[in-house]
């Protein structure tokens, strides 16, 4: 790993001097020199080192373009990465055979859990790159993207701070669906407060403060990811069962006007809606569920029946002069749905959104945190000692 890191950092240095940035160009330029300088190294690994170097430089150039002033890049962490031609993995025993130099191989035994088994035993998955870190090994898998099915229904979802709200449209009937995750905001709030407290308490010791804050951050990250994964999984399994397409709003370019309320600004910027969408999208691609993203413009202000655009945001209820009255979030999701259909999303058997047949009272709960999340100690409860 040290050799690999050295090779990467050398390649970065040479690449920056010569203004060469692509992996292939690096390969042409320095391969011969590097063969002499790193005589022991397996040739395939050198090429991988160039690839890592190229990606390091790419980030560096991005930072320069963003007008940040980055330090000269180098790889600090011990690591090594190889492509799938350069190592062997025995899928039954979980033993990785990694050549280091001529006649010298390293064997790594993976600790294989049931979760890992699922991927190792799946013959449709082929091996991708291998990353070796001091404490773990990352094996990437490749999968041919499955064919998207022809949808028979549509779920359109409006993403809100504590929930995904939407409608599921199937034939002529439409149902309100909801997946709520109110704890996400609460978790962020709690961890934010805790970090503030640590910073105050450890103001005299910045190193400790930083370490503790980082640990808080990691924990927050894990807890939120866990919930987002669960929400995405339940939504997708519902979609798969009903053979539905999923409609989401496109976030790109959406900015919030800074409000005077600092707390609201923070909440909006931290709100992991993009992450949730990413989870939904990649998981959908993995199983072949079609996902459509539409421009959310006016989705919260438009009346889906008469098309009138209200000038101000409504409170919890969206009311229109034509008599249409609906929950604000549901209304937004109906607008998303209509945009998607007008953009050419087709469904087997045809669909018609009939406001008369809209079932106001029936709500299908896709995800409910009480059922979904495992209980976890929140760390704030204190056990009082009984004397
Ligand atoms: Zn109207």
Q: Count other Cβ atoms within 10 Å, centred on residue 337.
A: 28
Q: Which residues pair with 267 in a beta bridge?
A: none
CA of 228 to the centre of ligand 1 (A): 34
Quote the pLDDT of residue 120.
86
CA of 317 to the centre of ligand 1 (A): 13
pTM listed for this prediction = 0.74
CA of 126 to the centre of ligand 1 (A): 53
What is the C-alpha separation between 224 and 113, in angstroms, rounded? 23
CA of 356 to the centre of ligand 1 (A): 14
Ligand 1 is an ion; residues with CB less than 5 A from it:
303, 305-306, 308, 320, 322, 324
CA of 308 to the centre of ligand 1 (A): 6
Q: 325-327 and 317-319: which strand pairing?
A: antiparallel
CA of 252 to the centre of ligand 1 (A): 28
Neighbour order of strands in the sheet with 88-90 = 88-90, 95-101, 104-109
CA of 222 to the centre of ligand 1 (A): 43
CA of 119 to the centre of ligand 1 (A): 51
3 state SS of 226: helix
CA of 304 to the centre of ligand 1 (A): 7
List the pLDDT tens digit at each of the 387 positions of the chain. Answer: 888 888 888 888 888 888 877 778 888 888 888 878 877 778 888 888 888 888 888 888 888 887 777 778 888 888 888 888 888 888 888 888 888 877 788 888 888 888 888 888 888 888 888 888 888 888 888 888 788 888 888 888 888 888 888 888 887 777 888 888 888 888 888 898 999 999 899 888 889 998 999 999 899 989 999 989 999 999 999 888 888 889 998 876 555 556 666 666 666 666 778 889 999 998 998 888 989 888 888 888 888 888 888 776 657 788 888 888 888 888 888 888 888 888 777 766 666 666 655 655 566 667 766 554 444 444 333 333 333
What is the C-alpha separation between 375 and 130, in angstroms, rounded? 35
């Amino acid at each position: 790993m040290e050799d690999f890191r050295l090779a990467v950092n050398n390649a970065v240095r040479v690449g920056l001097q010569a203004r060469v940035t692509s992996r292939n160009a690096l390969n042409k330029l320095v391969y011969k020199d590097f063969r002499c300088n790193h005589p022991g190294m397996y040739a395939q690994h050198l090429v991988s080192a160039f690839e890592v170097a190229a990606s390091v430089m790419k980030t560096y150039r991005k930072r320069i373009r963003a007008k940040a002033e980055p330090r000269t890049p180098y790889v600090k962490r011990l690591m090594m990465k190889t492509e799938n031609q350069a190592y062997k993995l025995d899928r039954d025993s979980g033993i990785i055979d990694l050549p280091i130099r001529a006649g010298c191989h390293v064997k790594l035994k993976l600790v294989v859990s049931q979760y890992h088994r699922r991927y190792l035993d799946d013959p449709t998955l082929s091996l991708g790159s291998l990353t070796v870190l001091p404490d773990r090994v990352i094996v990437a898998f490749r999968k041919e993207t499955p064919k998207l099915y022809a949808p028979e229904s549509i779920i359109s979802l409006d993403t809100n701070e504590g929930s995904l709200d939407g409608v599921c449209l199937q034939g002529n009937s439409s149902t309100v669906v909801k997946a709520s995750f109110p704890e996400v905001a609460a978790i962020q709030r709690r961890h934010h407060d805790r970090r503030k407290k640590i910073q105050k308490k450890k103001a005299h010791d910045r190193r400790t403060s930083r370490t503790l804050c980082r640990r808080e951050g990691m924990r927050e990250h894990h807890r939120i990811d866990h919930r987002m994964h669960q929400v995405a999984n339940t939504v997708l399994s519902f979609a798969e069962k009903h053979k539905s397409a999923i409609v989401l709003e496109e976030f790109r370019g959406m900015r919030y006007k800074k409000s005077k309320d600092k707390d609201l600004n923070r909440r909006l910027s931290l709100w992991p809606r993009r992450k949730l969408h990413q989870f939904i999208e990649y998981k959908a691609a993995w199983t072949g569920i079609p996902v459509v993203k539409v421009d959310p413009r006016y989705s919260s202000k438009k009346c889906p029946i008469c098309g009138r655009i209200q000038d101000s945001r409504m409170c919890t209820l969206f009311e229109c002069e034509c008599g249409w009255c609906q929950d604000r979030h549901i209304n937004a999701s109906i607008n998303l749905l209509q945009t998607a259909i007008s953009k050419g999303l087709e469904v087997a058997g045809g669909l018609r959104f009939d406001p008369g047949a809209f079932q106001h009272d029936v709500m299908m709960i896709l995800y409910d945190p009480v059922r979904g999340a495992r209980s976890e100690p929140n760390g704030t409860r204190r056990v009082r000692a009984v004397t």
